[in-house]
Amino acid sequence: MLFASLLTFIAVACMAVGLFLEHARFLPAHVAAAGGGLLFGLSLFFVVPEVAESAGQAPAWLLTVGVCGVLILLDRLLFHDGQTHGHVVGPLLAATAIHSFFDGWTVRAVAINPLANITVAFGLALHKAPEGLAVGWISRRSIPNVWNALAAGLAVELMTLVGAAVEPRASRSGEATFGPWWSAVVLSIIAGSFLFLGIHAVLPNRRRISVVGTFVAALALVACASRVMEAGI
């Protein structure tokens, strides 16, 4: 629960700052790109290969890409051209709460190797900072009362702890019922969400060379780490 608690603290602190931001353009694009690159690389070089070992290459990629596609579709429906309209704020915050739940679940579930575990936690931390700022900014501009906006933001981000608390028992129950396929499906959901986070972090700023470069550098770092581990260095 330590990593999940740290992630929640980062998200809540940034959410509180986000309540008082005047413009969304102050969100740290480079931080998001670094986190997105790490998570994108983890999906490609660690999580998908882990799924492929038990389920096969084709199911691993189909499940992962399918999850990523669904998340992209939901993102387009809830968040179009960077504008947040009043009638979608509720669903948007609900979707972010579900996403926070899976952040907490992920940090407990991904136990591929120590390097992957640390990289997951670091990548999610870089991702949670801009997410928290965005949740605070959206809540404040959609909910007139600052305390109600704060409560809404807290409810969203505290779902990270809920996900981390639920994961161990749910995983034991799922593995007992579904066998190896439980882990394969859960890891595919995680891998697909990592791909989505990577795309989501860099796509809005694809014309900014420095942001794209940050993403590629983080991705290359994970790729190199994967090669080093394969070589047994």
**Number of domains, the chain:** 1
User: What's the mean per-residue pLDDT of the chain?
Assistant: 81
| Spatial separation of the C-alpha atoms in residues 97 and 195, rounded to whole Å | 19
What is the structure's pLDDT at 133?
79
Residues of the chain with pLDDT under 70: 22-28, 78-92, 95, 111-117, 232-233
What is the structure's pLDDT at 79?
61
Domain of 196, in residue numbers: 2-20+28-231
Q: Evaluate whether 114 touches 46 at the Cβ level (below 8 Å).
A: no
- Hey, CA dihedral for 48, 51, 56, 60, is it positive or negative? negative
| Spatial separation of the C-alpha atoms in residues 110 and 123, rounded to whole Å | 13
Between the alpha carbon of residue 129 and those of residues 8, 46, 49, the distances in Å are: 10, 24, 28
What is the structure's pLDDT at 82?
47
What is the structure's pLDDT at 65?
96
pLDDT, tens only, 69-92: 998 888 787 665 445 445 456 666
What is the structure's pLDDT at 26?
47
The label of the residue with tokens 């591929």 reads 112
Q: Evaluate whether 19 touches 136 at the Cβ level (below 8 Å).
A: yes
Least Cα distance to 5 among 157, 134, 222, 168 occurs for 157
Instruction: Locate 176 and state its tokens.
Output: 């007992």
